[in-house]
């Protein structure tokens, strides 16, 4: 059987990088790049977190200021003063300005209400 001749043109001249070694280097590089990527992401998230914390703090401070302003505005004294500036005075309605519906009147029948009438009249006379 004739000996198979090697193609001299295909023979690699000089240093050859073995495939397993090459794979190891690529894997290590990928790990290193992954680490860098994660580190960068952590830094960015930290910055985002800080920015959000700052925004939250600023909003909380603004909320405090606005709460204070609102409380000052709607205080009884301030409302009274504001009305006074416009020539108005607000008071609690007098008893004769109030229409009262006697509790239970609607639930009871007409006859019951008729029977209550003398009692009410008596009470008013008593007054």
Partner 1 sequence: MNENAVQWRLTLAGVGLGLAMAGLCARLFVLHLGAPELWGGNGSNFAEEQPAVRGRIFDRNGQRNAMALDVAVKDVCADPFVVTSDDRASCLVSRLAPLLEMTEDAVAQRIFSRPGSRFAYVSRRVPEPVADRIAAESLPGVFFRDTILRRYPQGSSMGHVIGFVNYEGVGSAGVEQRMERFLRGAPGYLESSLNAKRQELVGRRAQHIPAVAGADVHLTLDQNIQHRIERILEDTVLRHRATAGLALVQRVRTGEILAMASWPFFDPNVFVESTPEQRRNRAIAFNYEPGSTFKPMVVAAALNEGLVTPETLIDCENGVWHYLNRPLRDVRPNGMLSVTEVVAKSSNIGTAKIGLRLGDRALYRYLRAFGFGERSGIDLPGEERGILHPVERWSRLDASRISIGQAVSVTPLQLLNAVCAIANDGILMRPHVVREIRGADGATLFEARPEALGQPIRAETARTIAHMMRLAVEEGGTGHRARLDDYETAGKTGTAQKVVDGVYSGTDYVASFVGFLPVENPEIGILVVVDEPRAEGYYGGLVAAPAFRAMAKETALYLDVLPTRYRLAQRP
Interacting residues toward partner 1 by CB under 8 A: 10, 12-13, 16-17, 22, 25-26, 28-30, 32-33, 35-36, 39, 42-43, 46-47, 49-50, 60-62, 64-65, 67-68, 71-72, 74-77, 80, 92-95, 100, 102-103, 116, 119-120, 123-124, 126-127
CB neighbours of 108 closer than 8 A, spacing ≥ 6?
A: 116
Q: Give 1 or 19: the residue with its C-beta nearer to partner 1.
A: 19
What sign results for the dihedral spanned by CA atoms 98, 99, 105, 107?
negative
Q: What does the DSSP assignment read for 49-95? A: HHHHHHHHHHHHHHHHHHHHHHHHHTSHHHHHHHHHHTT----PPPG
* Residue among 1 and 88 whose Cβ is closer to partner 1: 88
**Least CB distance from residue 83 to partner 1, whole Å?**
13
């Amino acid at each position: 059987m004739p000996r198979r001749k090697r193609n001299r043109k295909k023979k690699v001249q000089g240093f050859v990088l073995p495939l397993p070694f090459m794979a190891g280097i690529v894997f290590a590089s990928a790990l290193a790049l992954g680490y860098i990527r994660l580190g960068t992401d952590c830094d960015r998230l930290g910055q985002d977190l800080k920015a959000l914390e700052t925004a939250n703090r600023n909003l909380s401070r603004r909320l405090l200021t606005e709460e204070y302003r609102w409380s000052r505005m709607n205080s009884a004294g301030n409302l009274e003063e504001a009305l006074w500036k416009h020539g108005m005075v607000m008071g609690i309605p007098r008893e004769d300005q109030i229409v009262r519906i006697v509790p239970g009147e609607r639930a009871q029948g007409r006859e019951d209400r008729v029977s209550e009438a003398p009692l009410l009249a008596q009470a008013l006379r008593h007054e």
